[in-house]
Amino acid sequence: MVSSAFDFADVAAIVNAATAAGYQITGIILQQDDGVLVNNRLQQPLPVIDEVQHIDRIPLGMLAAVEVALPGKIIETLSNPTVLRPFSISTPRRPKISYQWRGR
C-alpha cells in the first residue's frame, strides 16, 4: 500500500528492487491516480489498484481478493463476496473474517 506521499517513479523503483531481491509482491494499492504510470515502469507485471482515497482504512496483514481486468478493459461487475467465501483461508490462528471496505 502506497500513500500519496510517494512519487510514481519511486514506487516503481522500490517494487522493482524488492522483486529483484527476492521479495514476492503480488499487487500494489495506490492512493494516487498513478496506476498506469507505475505499471509502465515495472519489470514484472502486477495488478495495480489506484485512486484509493481512504488508504489508511485498509487493514494491514490480511489477505485480500483483487479483481483484475484484462489490459485495456475495466471491471464491469464486481464479484459477490458470498461467491468468494469458499476460497478464503481459515486456520485456528486466522479465523475467517468478512470485511467490507467502501472506497470512494
User: Could you tell me the residue ranges of all domains in the chain?
Assistant: 8-87
64: region left, alpha or beta (phi > 0 left; psi from -120 to 50 alpha): beta
Q: What is the fold, at CATH topology level, of the domain defined by 8-87?
A: Glucose Oxidase; domain 1 (3.50.30)
The pLDDT score that the predictor gives to residue 7 is 96
Whole-structure pTM over 0.85, yes or no?
no
The pLDDT score that the predictor gives to residue 93 is 52
Between 26 and 65, the higher pLDDT residue: 26
At 84, is the pLDDT very low, low, confident or very high (cuts 50, 70, 90)?
Answer: low
What is the grid cell recorded at 80? 459477490
The pLDDT score that the predictor gives to residue 71 is 76
**What's the CA gap between 92 and 43, in Å, rounded?**
37
At 81, is the pLDDT very low, low, confident or very high (cuts 50, 70, 90)?
Answer: low
